[in-house]
Amino acid sequence: MAGLFGKFFSILSGAPEHSVSEPNDSIARFVSANDDPVDLTFVKKFTDGGGYFVYCGNEEEIIEHLKGASEEFGETHFFMPESKLIFWFQKAGLTVSRENPLDANAMATTCHAAIAQTGGIMISDIQTAGLKFAQLPSIHLVFAKVSQVVKSLSDGMSAINKSHRDQRPKAIITLKGKMDESVMQAKVDPNKDRQIYFFLMEDHLFTSLK
């Protein structure tokens, strides 16, 4: 399995590893449990663009990786527009603000979809409580289910149309790592100063969240 991802960004060290000879248990389970190439394609694209990726197969791994990420970037207080994620952060001993994004230097949200072809993550005003990205903390933890990884942008839009028929997003943005070529070439891009940690987990882990 050496070099499986080509370049994998460790959530604990923040450093690129160009040869992953012995991936950690959670990554190994992710690879063996998912044969669909869109999953691996997304991981490669996203991490090549400077994003930080981690797979969580159970609640214990979610808590462990949250603590690791918090320690890595030195923040323990998070702005969180969505209440459904608060439980995991409290279990990790982290504090949360739901009202004012200026109260924190880091934030966490869910997403609509992760796009394999581009390594982008679709997010909208539904996740951000209508706030513009200029108003939000630059360290961003994004949580997604395995089933939300899709092949193309059109697949992502189809997922949004299916799950949000009654509440249509008003503003949709695609998050990418700040070293993604399209981000670096753009004169103005909300991703330029954004540090993104992508937590991918099994669908059943969301079922108990409210």
**1 part of a folded domain:** no
Decide if 3 is inside a domain: no
Give the position of tokens 């299916």.
162
Q: With respect to residue 2, please indicate whether it lies within any of the assigned structural domains.
A: no
Q: Is residue 41 part of a domain?
A: yes
Does a structural domain hold residue 91? yes
- What is the side-by-side strand order in the sheet with 113-115? 149-150, 113-115, 120-124, 172-175
Q: In total, how many domains does the chain have? A: 1
DSSP helix/strand/coil, 142: strand
Would you give per-residue pLDDT tens digits along the chain (210 residues)? 223 222 333 433 333 343 333 344 444 444 444 455 788 889 988 998 889 998 888 999 999 999 999 998 999 999 999 988 999 999 999 999 988 888 899 999 999 999 999 999 999 988 988 888 888 998 999 999 999 999 999 998 888 888 877 777 888 888 888 787 877 777 676 777 789 999 999 888 887 665
Residue 147 sits in a domain of what CATH number? Answer: 3.40.50.10420
Query: Where in the sequence is the domain holding 38, given as residue range(s)?
Result: 8-206
